[in-house]
Amino acid sequence: MTDIRDATDHITADVDAITVFSPSTTEYDQYADVDDGTEVLVVAKENTVDAENFIELPVDFDDPRDGIRFGVEGGMDQGYLEEGDTIACVVSMFAADLDSVVRLRVSESIRTGIYDLFVNSRAEADVIRDVLELVIELGRKGQKGEPVGALFVVGDAGKVMNKSRPLSYNPFEKSHVHVGDSIVNVMLKEFSRLDGAFVISDAGKIVSAYRYLEGSAEGIDIPKGLGTRHMAAAAITRDTNSVSVVLSESDGMVRAFKGGDLVLELDPEAY
- CA 137 – CA 182 distance, rounded (Å): 12
pLDDT, tens digit, for every residue of 90-136? 998 887 788 889 999 999 888 878 898 898 899 998 899 899 988 98
- CA 69 – CA 228 distance, rounded (Å): 28
- CA 63 – CA 50 distance, rounded (Å): 26
- Give me the pLDDT at residue 13, please: 76
Taken in order of first residue, the domains within the chain and their CATH numbers are 4-116 (3.40.1380.20), 121-266 (3.40.1700.10)
E strands along the chain, which residues? 17-21, 39-44, 53-56, 86-91, 100-105, 150-154, 164-166, 197-200, 206-213, 243-247, 254-258, 261-266
Burial 184-194 (b: 16+ CB within 10 A, else e): bbebbbebbee
CB 59 within 8 A of CB 36: no
- Give me the pLDDT at residue 145, please: 65
110: phi then psi, degrees, rounded to nearest 5: -75, -25
- Give me the pLDDT at residue 38, please: 84
- In the three-class reduction of DSSP (H, G, I as helix; E, B as strand; rest coil), residue 256 is classed as strand
Between 6-10, 74-78, 86-90, 244-248, the lowest mean confidence (pLDDT) is in 6-10
- Give me the pLDDT at residue 157, please: 96
- CA 161 – CA 44 distance, rounded (Å): 35
Q: Report if pTM > 0.95.
A: no
Between 28-42, 44-58, 59-73, 104-118, the lowest mean confidence (pLDDT) is in 28-42
Share of the chain above pLDDT 90, in %: 49
Residue type, 29: D
- CA 167 – CA 185 distance, rounded (Å): 21
